[in-house]
Amino acid sequence: MMKKKSIKCFCALLLTVALMCGLVPMTVMADDYYTAPANDTDVTYIKEDGTSDVVKAGTYTVLTAETTNLTTGWYVAKTNWDGFKPNKRIEITGDVKIVIENRAFFYIPYGIHVSYGNSLTMYASVLYNGQIRDDLRGQGNPRSNLSSKTAIIGGNEGEANGTIKLVNISYYQTNAPADAPVIGTGGATGDGYIALPSDPNPILIYGGQYVITSGDRAAAIGGGYHASSSPIYLYNADQMVAYGRAGGAAIGGGLGGCCSEIVIDIRGNIVAQCMGSDGSFDTGSGAAIGDGAYATHTFSSSEPVISIRRGGVVAISEQGSALLLGKGAGNTNVPESAVSIYAEASVRILEESGTSANAHYSKDMTETWKFPGFELYECRHDHAHYEVENGQHLFVCEECRIPFDYEPHDFNDDLICKDCGYGASVVLHSVATVLTGKIQFRYTLSLSDEIKADPNAYLCFTDYDTGAEVKRIKVSELKPAADGSGRYYAFLPKCIVDFRESTKLKVYRSNGQLASLYSARGINLTDSGFNYSLDSYAISTTAYHDQAMVDVAYGIRHYGIGSRRIMGEYEYEDVVSEIMDSVSLVDLTPYKATTSQNKSEVAGLKNSTIRLKLDSDNTLRVTFYLNAGENVSDYKFYLGAEGGTASEVTPVSLGSNAYAIDVKALSVRELADKYNFSIERGGKVYTVTACALSYAYTSVKSGTDEKVQFGKAFYNYYVTANYYLNKIGNE
């Protein structure tokens, strides 16, 4: 069996929390990421027989979040953008055909309603890469969003499903609501039964890979609670793992529901197993393939109910699972023709615990010789291996194909997973918040040889909310890490006023294709990207063991909150009272701005002000206002450090005879450094001597609540950050 690993990661960087990126497809530039592509290109899709065809440009609709009522016609889930993420259940009317492009986002957190008489066909543009995804961050998944008895794809409560055809689609790790299947008929209303139409619409699955689990009392594919299944046809699948729960078959009828015709003609294995509502496989009571528990199946034809034509069927048994009928179904008159197993097929009923068979089939097991290829087999899972699937590796029994567990990749220094051999392009080890210069994030990355050799591969930083591109850095321009580890640094400037704005990182190759991006813990970040903000840093650091680091994290957070409040955004919470109580005007008096003489000495000078530009990383600005009609060319402006030599500078024109001198991008160590800002005319000079903390003094002295909060929070940030930097500098 698989040995679980404990992955220990530690990264001590300057003023950083080693998050190890455990927070959590496109080929266009990031500024187009949230814009739906046009329908101006042909779209290729793989048909049922494995050949390809094309949907012509202009003849289909591109799926967007608003495209939730689909009527007869073609639709395409496009790659290269944010993708199909509807916020309600998708309604199918008529004959609807959907193509999912390679690596396209196709989320159905509210499922797809396909009622009787309507038809849904879904194609992949590349074999097995048309992926349906349930769980969308912030929207949940069908199990949490849908009411009970509502199939994820198929009928609502009390409804039979329409025609559902999935061609080379992959659907992993999905769980249906209570009393509902993943694909099929909804559960019966109350304790009644759903009577299927005389000509029920079928469920057809061609190719693809599936790991799906029903809700309680339902089948994974087929019927919901007290519902029989429509005909089910499974062709050419490489792998399907289906779990029924609490009386539902894995594939077939729900609790009390019978199966219609089931045809299995596949390349690989179907693993079918039933479990109890407690998730235990030894309490399952439905069929692996066939009827739900307590169904009363009337056999009105000599034609087989279940035909297994090609491939392997693995029915996992414990107390109640069966190939055809669930334990307690009460069927004693099952004709020998009920199950037909062809020469190219085989069926195994496996015993996970090694105990003897017990009621696995409605007929006495001694009669299984009547069904060629039908055998009782005890699987001990002696041989298993890793398979890469959905950005992780899956531990699978080679004998019965039971998947045991997903694990994140465990990368070595060459970015190769030690377990399964999967190679990543980029591994993100940590993100540090650095204050020795201007505030910035420092991303520490390992790069594969393939991505380093790509001449125009780049890191793309986008705003999480708007999708707007923030910064792009070529991989070739990244700085080697100072510790000689062979890793690389990427630096992203951050502004305190945007302390809650999250930035997303993704990596692209020269051709615009996404490069695989993983965290050091093996979490796949390729499609989702890695999101981070100053607020994330501050909140996570408060659990850190070093009190000095905790203090500066609070300092950053309160500074950010104060900056938003001073800009008039009052929805932000107050800075905590302890910070308010610990800072007084006396603490800030040494940083009070001073002037050299009365401003009236300089002809035409009306006034001057001090400001800290919070949206440009602590830019200290002194503005001089001239009287109306004055010509700025009659004045000279100077800037210099206090006690140093001043140099003439060109002021920034702000309009209305206002001219500013800036000291840009002050680091935390420079917030108390004083500068002389001077204006001169006719030999007369007026000088304002100030530092960034002068603005904190002015704010606290104003007495206005939001300004007082900001001034004290800004000063506290300065004190705590400098204490921390001095502390680690002495070690």
Say whether pLDDT at 586 is over 80. Answer: yes
Q: At what angle do helices 547-566 and 705-729 cross, to 10 degrees?
A: 150
For residue 610, list its beta bridge partners: 622
Write the CA distances from 200 to 153, 165, 657, integer angstroms: 16, 14, 80
| Confidence band of 687 (pLDDT split at 50, 70, 90) | very high
Residue positions counted in the chain? 731
| Confidence band of 198 (pLDDT split at 50, 70, 90) | confident
b/e per residue 411-448 (b: at least 16 CB within 10 A): beeebbbebbebebbbbbbbbbbbbeebbbbbbbbbbb
pLDDT of residue 512: 87
| Euclidean distance between CA atoms 153 and 221, whole angstroms | 10
Percent of the chain with pLDDT over 90: 31
For residue 605, list its beta bridge partners: 626
| Euclidean distance between CA atoms 55 and 285, whole angstroms | 45
What pLDDT, in 10s, does the model give residues 407-426? 777 788 888 887 777 888 99
Nearest to 290 by CA among 333, 352, 247: 247
Other C-beta atoms within 10 Å of 406: how many? 15
Whether 714 contacts 668, CB under 8 Å: no
What pLDDT, in 10s, does the model give residues 244-269? 888 888 899 998 888 888 888 887 77
DSSP string, 679-696: EEETTEEEEEEE-HHHHH
Mean pLDDT of 594-606: 88
Do the bridges between strand 658-663 and strand 619-626 make them parallel or antiparallel, or are there none, so unpaired? Answer: antiparallel
pTM for this model (two decimals):
0.52
Whether 52 contacts 44, CB under 8 Å: yes
- Give, for 716, the enclosing helix (H) or strand (E): helix 705-729
User: Which residues lie closer than 8 Å to 380 by C-beta, 6 or more apart?
Assistant: 354
Nearest to 324 by CA among 346, 365, 292: 292
What are the extents of the domains in the chain?
43-397, 426-537, 538-574+717-729, 594-690
Mean pLDDT of the chain: 79
Burial class (CB in 10 A: 0-12, 13-18, 19+), 307: middle
pLDDT of residue 353: 45
Say whether pLDDT at 375 is over 80. Answer: no
Residue 614 backbone dihedrals phi, psi, to 5 degrees: -75, -20
426-537 and 594-690 agree in CATH topology: yes
Q: At what angle do helices 534-541 and 547-566 cross, to 10 degrees?
A: 140
Task: Name which residue leads in pLDDT, 118 or 555.
Answer: 118
| Euclidean distance between CA atoms 599 and 606, whole angstroms | 8
Other C-beta atoms within 10 Å of 68: how many? 17
- Among 471-480, 522-531, 570-579, the minimum mean pLDDT is found in 570-579
What is the CATH number that goes with domain 426-537? 2.60.40
b/e per residue 221-245 (b: at least 16 CB within 10 A): bbbbbbbbbbbbbbbbbbbbbbbbb
For residue 164, list its beta bridge partners: 120, 203
User: Among the ranges 248-257, 284-293, 519-528, 555-564, which has the highest mean pLDDT value?
Assistant: 248-257
Mean pLDDT of 175-192: 89
- Among 205-214, 256-265, 312-321, 325-334, the minimum mean pLDDT is found in 325-334
Other C-beta atoms within 10 Å of 382: how many? 9
The DSSP 8-state label assigned to residue 340 in this structure reads E
H helix intervals, 76-146: 142-145
Say whether pLDDT at 605 is over 60. Answer: yes
User: Which residues lie closer than 8 Å to 361 by C-beta, 6 or more apart?
Assistant: 322, 323, 324, 325, 349, 368
pLDDT of residue 28: 33
- Give, for 46, the enclosing helix (H) or strand (E): strand 43-46
pLDDT of residue 419: 74
User: Among the ranges 209-213, 380-384, 627-631, which has the highest mean pLDDT value?
Assistant: 627-631
b/e per residue 573-586 (b: at least 16 CB within 10 A): eebeeebbeebeee
| Euclidean distance between CA atoms 329 and 327, whole angstroms | 6
| Confidence band of 31 (pLDDT split at 50, 70, 90) | very low
User: Which residues lie closer than 8 Å to 418 by C-beta, 6 or more apart?
Assistant: 410, 411, 412
| Euclidean distance between CA atoms 256 and 217, whole angstroms | 9
Whether 167 contacts 160, CB under 8 Å: no
pLDDT of residue 274: 79
Q: How many helices (H) and strands (E) does the chain have?
A: 8, 47
User: Which residues lie closer than 8 Å to 239 by C-beta, 6 or more apart?
Assistant: 209, 210, 268, 269, 270, 271, 401
Whether 148 contacts 179, CB under 8 Å: yes
Percent of the chain with pLDDT over 70: 78
Whether 203 contacts 173, CB under 8 Å: no
pLDDT of residue 280: 61
pLDDT of residue 319: 46
Say whether pLDDT at 593 is over 60. Answer: yes
| Confidence band of 367 (pLDDT split at 50, 70, 90) | very low
Mean pLDDT of 170-177: 83
| Euclidean distance between CA atoms 402 and 311, whole angstroms | 16
The answer as to CATH 2.60.40.10 being correct for domain 594-690 is: yes
Nearest to 429 by CA among 373, 486, 380, 468: 486
What pLDDT, in 10s, does the model give residues 634-648? 999 999 999 889 999
Task: Name which residue leads in pLDDT, 676 or 559.
Answer: 676
pLDDT of residue 400: 54
Query: Furthest-apart CA pair in the chain: how many Å?
Result: 115
Task: Name which residue leads in pLDDT, 731 or 124.
Answer: 124
